[in-house]
Amino acid sequence: MKEFQNMFEGEDEPTIRLRFAGDRRRTSKKIGTVMAVFSVLREGIHKPDYQYNTCLYNGKEGHEQLTSCMKSIFQEMKDLERNGLDYNGRHFKIEWLVHVS
């Protein structure tokens, strides 16, 4: 978070835009693995350095399994969007772009 704080210098009500994505890959003939990541959407920093893995599980990428495996993560995402984030005396709004392929 420290490195992001400087990106928002001079903004009275900074908004951090985050992209959440889940992607399934076949790891064997019968097993698929789903990896969910979030990344910071900000001009000039869309690099792998700013992508963070949140979940990795074996199975299908269906809505039912995703919500079951990631229930606590989805709740934290809702809380962050609703309440924002306070850091070093500053309040940051959070916006999520959610994409599951």
Instruction: Classify residue 34 as exposed, middle or buried by CB count within 10 Å of its CB (0-12, 13-18, 19+).
Output: buried
- Residue 27 is given by DSSP the state -
Q: Average pLDDT, stretch 75-95? A: 90
Which residues make beta-bridge pairs with 26?
32
How many residues are listed for the chain in this entry?
101
pLDDT tens digits for 1-54? 566 666 677 777 788 888 888 777 777 777 788 888 888 887 666 666 677 888
In whole angstroms, how far apart are CA 99 and each of 14, 18, 22, 36, 96?
23, 11, 7, 10, 10
Q: What is the pTM of this model?
A: 0.72
